[in-house]
Structure 1
Amino acid sequence: MPWRQRLPRTARLLSGAQFKAVFSARRSCGNELFRVHYIPSDQARLGMAVSRRVSKRAVDRNRIRRQIRETFRLRRDRLAPMDYVVVARSAARDADRRVLREKLEQLWQRFSDNP
Protein backbone atom coordinates (compact mmCIF):
# COMPACT_ATOMS: atom_id res chain seq x y z
CA MET A 1 0.00 0.00 0.00
CA PRO A 2 1.58 3.27 -1.12
CA TRP A 3 0.34 5.28 1.89
CA ARG A 4 2.36 2.99 4.15
CA GLN A 5 5.60 3.83 2.40
CA ARG A 6 7.20 6.75 4.15
CA LEU A 7 9.98 9.11 3.40
CA PRO A 8 12.73 8.16 5.85
CA ARG A 9 14.05 10.72 8.28
CA THR A 10 17.46 10.55 6.59
CA ALA A 11 15.84 11.79 3.36
CA ARG A 12 14.55 15.02 4.90
CA LEU A 13 16.08 18.35 5.80
CA LEU A 14 15.26 18.84 9.47
CA SER A 15 17.07 21.83 10.92
CA GLY A 16 16.97 25.51 10.16
CA ALA A 17 20.72 25.41 9.52
CA GLN A 18 20.22 22.84 6.75
CA PHE A 19 17.57 25.02 5.09
CA LYS A 20 19.76 28.10 5.48
CA ALA A 21 22.69 26.35 3.78
CA VAL A 22 20.52 25.52 0.76
CA PHE A 23 19.02 29.01 0.49
CA SER A 24 22.40 30.74 0.90
CA ALA A 25 23.88 28.81 -2.05
CA ARG A 26 21.54 30.77 -4.35
CA ARG A 27 21.20 27.93 -6.86
CA SER A 28 17.64 27.39 -8.03
CA CYS A 29 15.32 26.63 -10.89
CA GLY A 30 11.58 26.66 -11.14
CA ASN A 31 8.34 26.96 -13.02
CA GLU A 32 5.06 28.80 -12.46
CA LEU A 33 4.06 26.71 -9.41
CA PHE A 34 7.33 25.84 -7.64
CA ARG A 35 10.93 26.92 -7.15
CA VAL A 36 13.59 24.36 -6.22
CA HIS A 37 16.72 25.50 -4.37
CA TYR A 38 19.55 22.95 -4.26
CA ILE A 39 23.13 22.24 -3.20
CA PRO A 40 25.29 19.14 -3.71
CA SER A 41 25.11 16.58 -0.92
CA ASP A 42 25.88 12.93 -0.24
CA GLN A 43 22.28 11.84 -0.86
CA ALA A 44 18.98 13.26 -2.13
CA ARG A 45 17.18 15.00 0.75
CA LEU A 46 14.01 17.08 0.70
CA GLY A 47 12.91 20.22 2.47
CA MET A 48 9.64 22.07 1.82
CA ALA A 49 8.51 25.64 2.27
CA VAL A 50 4.79 26.18 1.80
CA SER A 51 3.95 29.42 3.55
CA ARG A 52 0.73 31.08 4.56
CA ARG A 53 1.25 33.47 1.69
CA VAL A 54 0.54 30.53 -0.61
CA SER A 55 -2.77 29.86 1.13
CA LYS A 56 -4.33 30.89 4.41
CA ARG A 57 -5.98 27.47 4.66
CA ALA A 58 -3.89 24.68 6.19
CA VAL A 59 -5.76 22.08 4.14
CA ASP A 60 -4.45 23.66 0.91
CA ARG A 61 -0.89 23.91 2.20
CA ASN A 62 -0.95 20.28 3.36
CA ARG A 63 -2.32 19.12 -0.01
CA ILE A 64 0.60 20.81 -1.76
CA ARG A 65 3.10 19.30 0.72
CA ARG A 66 1.68 15.80 0.15
CA GLN A 67 2.22 16.10 -3.60
CA ILE A 68 5.78 17.40 -3.16
CA ARG A 69 6.62 14.60 -0.72
CA GLU A 70 5.08 11.85 -2.84
CA THR A 71 6.71 12.88 -6.14
CA PHE A 72 10.08 13.15 -4.37
CA ARG A 73 9.66 9.74 -2.69
CA LEU A 74 8.89 8.05 -6.02
CA ARG A 75 11.86 9.66 -7.80
CA ARG A 76 14.40 9.81 -4.98
CA ASP A 77 16.53 6.88 -6.15
CA ARG A 78 16.97 8.49 -9.59
CA LEU A 79 17.74 12.02 -8.39
CA ALA A 80 21.21 13.52 -8.22
CA PRO A 81 22.56 13.52 -4.65
CA MET A 82 21.59 17.01 -3.51
CA ASP A 83 19.70 18.80 -0.77
CA TYR A 84 16.50 20.16 -2.33
CA VAL A 85 14.16 22.75 -0.87
CA VAL A 86 10.90 23.08 -2.80
CA VAL A 87 9.19 26.43 -2.34
CA ALA A 88 5.54 26.62 -3.42
CA ARG A 89 4.26 29.70 -5.20
CA SER A 90 0.79 31.12 -4.65
CA ALA A 91 -0.41 29.78 -8.03
CA ALA A 92 -0.03 26.25 -6.59
CA ARG A 93 -3.03 26.85 -4.33
CA ASP A 94 -5.46 26.79 -7.27
CA ALA A 95 -3.88 23.88 -9.14
CA ASP A 96 -5.41 20.43 -8.86
CA ARG A 97 -3.47 17.29 -7.93
CA ARG A 98 -2.72 16.30 -11.51
CA VAL A 99 -1.25 19.70 -12.41
CA LEU A 100 0.82 19.82 -9.20
CA ARG A 101 2.31 16.40 -9.96
CA GLU A 102 2.98 17.30 -13.59
CA LYS A 103 4.86 20.50 -12.66
CA LEU A 104 6.84 18.74 -9.93
CA GLU A 105 7.80 15.93 -12.33
CA GLN A 106 9.10 18.55 -14.77
CA LEU A 107 11.36 19.92 -12.04
CA TRP A 108 12.57 16.51 -10.83
CA GLN A 109 13.35 15.60 -14.44
CA ARG A 110 16.05 18.31 -14.46
CA PHE A 111 17.82 16.58 -11.58
CA SER A 112 17.43 12.97 -12.70
CA ASP A 113 20.50 10.86 -13.39
CA ASN A 114 18.62 8.80 -15.94
CA PRO A 115 15.50 10.63 -17.22
Structure 2
Amino acid sequence: MNFCYSKKYRLLHNFEFKNILFKKNRVITLFFNVFFIYNNLIFPRLGIIISKKVIRLSSDRNRIKRLLRESFRMNKKNIRFIDFVIFPKRILCNLNNNEIFKLLDDLWCRYAINN
Protein backbone atom coordinates (compact mmCIF):
# COMPACT_ATOMS: atom_id res chain seq x y z
CA MET A 1 0.00 0.00 0.00
CA ASN A 2 1.36 3.40 -1.01
CA PHE A 3 0.75 6.19 1.51
CA CYS A 4 2.92 8.84 -0.16
CA TYR A 5 1.60 12.30 -1.01
CA SER A 6 3.46 12.95 -4.24
CA LYS A 7 2.77 15.66 -6.82
CA LYS A 8 0.24 13.56 -8.68
CA TYR A 9 -2.11 13.79 -5.68
CA ARG A 10 -1.94 17.61 -5.55
CA LEU A 11 -3.71 20.28 -7.50
CA LEU A 12 -0.79 22.33 -8.77
CA HIS A 13 -2.04 24.73 -11.43
CA ASN A 14 -4.31 27.74 -11.30
CA PHE A 15 -6.56 26.40 -14.07
CA GLU A 16 -7.20 23.22 -12.04
CA PHE A 17 -8.40 25.27 -9.07
CA LYS A 18 -10.52 27.54 -11.29
CA ASN A 19 -12.12 24.55 -12.99
CA ILE A 20 -13.22 23.09 -9.66
CA LEU A 21 -14.45 26.40 -8.25
CA PHE A 22 -16.36 27.17 -11.47
CA LYS A 23 -18.38 23.92 -11.32
CA LYS A 24 -19.85 24.94 -7.95
CA ASN A 25 -20.22 21.43 -6.54
CA ARG A 26 -19.68 22.16 -2.88
CA VAL A 27 -20.30 21.09 0.65
CA ILE A 28 -20.39 23.78 3.31
CA THR A 29 -19.87 22.77 6.93
CA LEU A 30 -19.15 24.70 10.08
CA PHE A 31 -15.42 24.10 9.67
CA PHE A 32 -14.79 23.79 5.90
CA ASN A 33 -15.98 24.82 2.48
CA VAL A 34 -15.26 21.90 0.16
CA PHE A 35 -15.46 22.27 -3.62
CA PHE A 36 -15.11 19.13 -5.71
CA ILE A 37 -15.46 17.58 -9.15
CA TYR A 38 -15.09 14.00 -10.31
CA ASN A 39 -11.91 13.53 -12.31
CA ASN A 40 -10.91 11.15 -15.10
CA LEU A 41 -7.87 9.91 -13.22
CA ILE A 42 -7.54 6.79 -11.10
CA PHE A 43 -6.76 8.69 -7.90
CA PRO A 44 -8.13 11.66 -5.92
CA ARG A 45 -6.32 15.00 -5.71
CA LEU A 46 -6.29 17.74 -3.08
CA GLY A 47 -5.89 21.51 -3.17
CA ILE A 48 -5.89 23.71 -0.07
CA ILE A 49 -6.58 27.44 0.02
CA ILE A 50 -6.12 29.33 3.29
CA SER A 51 -5.90 33.10 3.13
CA LYS A 52 -4.21 35.30 5.68
CA LYS A 53 -7.50 37.15 6.06
CA VAL A 54 -9.24 34.01 7.35
CA ILE A 55 -6.46 32.56 9.54
CA ARG A 56 -4.04 35.24 10.60
CA LEU A 57 -1.16 33.33 12.16
CA SER A 58 1.11 31.47 9.76
CA SER A 59 1.71 28.78 12.36
CA ASP A 60 -2.04 28.04 12.45
CA ARG A 61 -2.29 28.08 8.64
CA ASN A 62 0.64 25.69 8.33
CA ARG A 63 -0.69 23.38 11.05
CA ILE A 64 -4.08 23.13 9.36
CA LYS A 65 -2.51 22.51 5.94
CA ARG A 66 -0.27 19.83 7.42
CA LEU A 67 -3.23 18.10 9.07
CA LEU A 68 -5.30 18.27 5.87
CA ARG A 69 -2.49 16.75 3.81
CA GLU A 70 -1.79 14.04 6.37
CA SER A 71 -5.44 13.07 6.69
CA PHE A 72 -5.82 12.97 2.90
CA ARG A 73 -2.66 10.90 2.56
CA MET A 74 -3.90 8.30 5.03
CA ASN A 75 -7.41 8.09 3.50
CA LYS A 76 -6.78 8.50 -0.23
CA LYS A 77 -7.03 4.77 -0.93
CA ASN A 78 -10.69 4.88 0.21
CA ILE A 79 -11.71 8.10 -1.57
CA ARG A 80 -13.42 8.18 -4.96
CA PHE A 81 -11.64 9.76 -7.92
CA ILE A 82 -12.46 13.36 -7.03
CA ASP A 83 -10.51 16.62 -7.11
CA PHE A 84 -11.01 18.59 -3.88
CA VAL A 85 -10.37 22.22 -3.04
CA ILE A 86 -10.75 22.86 0.68
CA PHE A 87 -11.18 26.25 2.33
CA PRO A 88 -10.79 25.89 6.11
CA LYS A 89 -12.73 28.38 8.25
CA ARG A 90 -11.46 30.50 11.12
CA ILE A 91 -13.15 28.42 13.82
CA LEU A 92 -10.82 25.52 12.97
CA CYS A 93 -7.96 27.31 14.78
CA ASN A 94 -9.69 26.72 18.11
CA LEU A 95 -9.63 22.94 17.75
CA ASN A 96 -6.79 20.62 18.66
CA ASN A 97 -5.21 18.21 16.18
CA ASN A 98 -7.26 15.18 17.24
CA GLU A 99 -10.53 17.05 16.80
CA ILE A 100 -9.46 18.23 13.34
CA PHE A 101 -8.49 14.68 12.33
CA LYS A 102 -11.91 13.43 13.44
CA LEU A 103 -13.66 16.11 11.37
CA LEU A 104 -11.53 15.23 8.36
CA ASP A 105 -12.23 11.51 8.74
CA ASP A 106 -15.95 12.33 8.67
CA LEU A 107 -15.39 14.44 5.57
CA TRP A 108 -13.51 11.69 3.72
CA CYS A 109 -16.19 9.15 4.69
CA ARG A 110 -18.68 11.18 2.64
CA TYR A 111 -16.60 10.49 -0.46
CA ALA A 112 -15.59 6.91 0.31
CA ILE A 113 -15.60 4.38 -2.51
CA ASN A 114 -17.99 2.05 -0.70
CA ASN A 115 -20.64 4.78 -0.11
TM-score, normalised by the number of residues in structure 2: 0.90
Other-structure match for 1:21: 19
Per-residue CA deviations over 1:46-73 (Å, capped at 9, x if unaligned) read 0001111222110000000011001100
Per-residue CA deviations over 1:83-103 (Å, capped at 9, x if unaligned) read 111110111111111111111
Contact 1:53 1:90 in 2 (8 A): no
Task: Report the AA paired with residue 32 of structure 1.
Answer: L
Take 2:83 and 2:114, find their aligned partners in 1: how far apart are those partners? 18
Contact 1:34 1:104 in 2 (8 A): no
Structure 1 residue 82 displacement after superposition? 0.8
Structure 1 unaligned runs (5+)? none
Give SS of 2:69's match: helix
2:106 is the alignment partner of 1:106? yes
Moved segments of 4+, more than 2 Å: none
Other-structure match for 1:11: 9
Contact 1:54 1:91 in 2 (8 A): no
Take 2:55 and 2:47, find their aligned partners in 1: how far apart are those partners? 18
Q: Identity over the aligned pairs, expressed in percent?
A: 27
Higher mean displacement: 26-35 or 10-19 = 26-35
Structure 1 residue 6 displacement after superposition? 4.0
Matched positions, count: 111
TM-score, normalised by the number of residues in structure 1: 0.90
